[in-house]
Amino acid sequence: MKTIKPLIAILGLPPLLWAGIGPQTAERRKPEPGKVVSNNRGLHGYISFSAARPPAQSEYSAGMGFYSAVWPLVDEPIARFQIGLPSAWITPDNSDNKDTPLAPVGTHARDHWPERGPTYESVFQTVEGGLGYWARNHFRYGPPKFSMNATPQCYDYEVGSPGWSFFYSNEALPDDRLGIAQLSNRILIPPDALPFQGHPNGQFLGYTYMALPFTEPVTGEPPTGDQAWTCFLNAANFKGPIAYYIPETWSKIGKLFNYPFIYGRGLDSRPGKMGGGAMEINTVPSFQSQDAQGVVYSKLPKLQFPVDAQGRTLLVQNVTYYSKAALYDAFKAWRDGGPACSGVFDEKGAWTSTLTTRTTRFDQGGKKINGVEKIFNTKIFEDNIWGLEWFDGTRNAMGYFPRYFKHVGEEREAIAAADVPEDTQLKSQEFRRADMGVPYTSPAGGAWGRPGPVRGPFQVNLADGSTVTYSWYRFVDQPSFQQYGWSEDKKARLQAFVEKIHAAWPIDRDYMAPLKQGTLVTLDPALLVTPPKGLEVGYVPIVTRQEASSDPAGGKGRGGAIE
């Protein structure tokens, strides 16, 4: 998710590389009476929570996860719009380092963000995947999507799927920057992120990043740990791990920049830490105009939240930290020839966090917004669930963020639509719908072609209006692994272990502890695939292309081969 510096002040979290939108000048222009201008700085802020960390933080550092609500924040796809639904950030724990830079000279963070010094710990490496809308999504369809996002090299680049960055390039990442290994043989991971079925309305998606030892630690240059941060999902129609970050993704920065100090300090080796999460409001378009008296007003898109019969929007629950006793130990024993591991997170290795929150602050073009706190505020509800409490009488309906604002000096006052003068022409303005983007593409050669797939290509149409092309690769032959000169023995051992996982871990088992309140969301069923005959274990579906579908209904295809 490109990012935003003010979040540090709120949660001590790294930037997310959210939008990369340049500064706008519309805020500084004096609009003529009745002349409407637009900009992309309509709303900024963080609806955030803090999560208490375990007393033995270094022990409960092998996994972090929770359930996050899924709903269409906007009722139609809007261009250049970016807001994250509640998500969190995992960074390597380098708290023992007080003054030495973790970001080498020559990286983006070191060369552009001196305020993050002296250690640059918050912008060294992150796992920040979650739910949201991104300004550069190619295929918008209304509801949000889920993406596995990470920054392995001080924000020099990002990794969002087994082949691509997160929405910043149409072309696949260079072979030596691929970082995610597709693990599941039952689900597709498109470059534009995972869509959902229909229009979810506050159902929950569970996700946990768990550090698992697929391979042994490696000595030498660079030394590499055994922590493969693996993404587990819990939805109504899919449960289990989807993919993991290859440990070398984190360790190779030290050798690349000839900087031995950071050997052993990446997410491949260090304990992970997570301090809370937020809805990050980043790029929101707005209209601005003034009336005949010279008073300026502005308008936002309609931002909506599901509200229950008690006037609540439930956003996050079951925030949990995990020790190695939750899964790592049993997983390692199985890998080394011990008894089969079910994959279910053992509660003896789980620690449930207590959440806290605060009144949220919002701004428009850097100018403070007033009045939102009269409509809703953040709150911790029963069962340690974080969300919003609505004061405007909304019950069993959608609650709405204020759309109109009166500019009063250096502040913005939320007002009702009825209080907007007609001569501003604001109420009739419509925000531009997002168009379908250009295709995501991958090369035929390089890591994608050698050793290459064993079957395919196949195509499927998704609910977001796109068509995904994919092929089946033997697990260790998928593109992400080809940059490493692993021995045939190491590849054979990893391949055999993954075959055991495919045979033993179904997609209808509860790996995460169940929800306390609410129901699970349903992923777009078109994402789910069945391995072809003969490829039932040890092979994975790798997406090679995503493009606008010629089938306007979308979501109908079920994996037919291309003629």
pLDDT, one tens digit per residue, over 385-441 is: 999 999 999 999 999 999 999 999 999 999 999 999 999 999 999 999 999 999 999
Helices marked H in 299-368: 328-335
Is residue 175 scored above 70 in pLDDT? yes
Q: Please, are residues 424 and 297 in contact by the beta-carbon 8 Å criterion?
A: yes
| pLDDT at residue 552, as a whole number | 52
Look at residue 336 and tell me if it is in a domain. Answer: no
pLDDT in tens, 472-518: 999 999 999 999 999 999 999 999 999 999 999 999 999 999 999 99
The span from the CA of 160 to the CA of 137, in Å, is 12
* pTM recorded for the entire structure: 0.92
Local confidence band at 43 (pLDDT 50, 70, 90 cut-offs): very high
Look at residue 178 and tell me if it is in a domain. Answer: yes
Mean pLDDT of the chain: 92
Average pLDDT over residues 40-63: 92
Look at residue 171 and tell me if it is in a domain. Answer: yes
Average pLDDT over residues 304-319: 97
| pLDDT at residue 563, as a whole number | 36
Alpha-carbon distances of 497 from 169, 334, 475, 494, rounded to whole Å = 33, 9, 10, 5
The region of weakest confidence among 179-188, 468-477, 517-526, 551-560 is 551-560
- Locus of tokens 């109109």: 404
Which DSSP state fits 73? S
CA atoms within 13 Å, Cβ hemisphere of 80: 15
Terminal CA-to-CA distance of the chain, rounded, Å? 37
Q: Which residues span the domain enclosing 506?
A: 440-561
Is residue 341 scored above 90 in pLDDT? yes
b or e along 180-189 (b: 16 or more beta carbons within 10 Å of the residue's beta carbon)?
A: bbbbbbbbbb
Look at residue 478 and tell me if it is in a domain. Answer: yes
pLDDT in tens, 240-293: 999 999 999 999 999 999 999 999 999 999 999 998 899 999 999 999 999 999
Look at residue 429 and tell me if it is in a domain. Answer: no
| pLDDT at residue 57, as a whole number | 75
Is residue 1 scored above 50 in pLDDT? no
Neighbouring CB atoms inside 10 A of 56's CB total 11
3-state SS, residue 121: helix
Residues ≥6 apart with Cβ < 8 Å to 70 = 85, 131, 143, 144, 196, 200, 202, 203, 204, 205, 521
Count up the domains in the chain and report the number: 2
Look at residue 85 and tell me if it is in a domain. Answer: yes
Look at residue 425 and tell me if it is in a domain. Answer: no
Is residue 14 scored above 80 in pLDDT? no
| pLDDT at residue 276, as a whole number | 87
58 or 103: which leads in pLDDT: 103
205 phi, psi to nearest 5 deg = -110, 125
User: End of a domain among 285, 314, 345?
Assistant: 285
User: End of a domain among 259, 285, 311?
Assistant: 285
Residues ≥6 apart with Cβ < 8 Å to 201 = 71, 72, 306
**Of the candidates 358, 361, 362, the residue with the CA atom closest to the CA atom of residue 386:** 358
Partners of 448 in the β-ladder: none
Look at residue 112 and tell me if it is in a domain. Answer: yes
Local confidence band at 168 (pLDDT 50, 70, 90 cut-offs): confident
Is residue 102 scored above 60 in pLDDT? yes
User: End of a domain among 222, 257, 285?
Assistant: 285
Is residue 122 scored above 80 in pLDDT? yes
- Locus of tokens 């295709």: 439
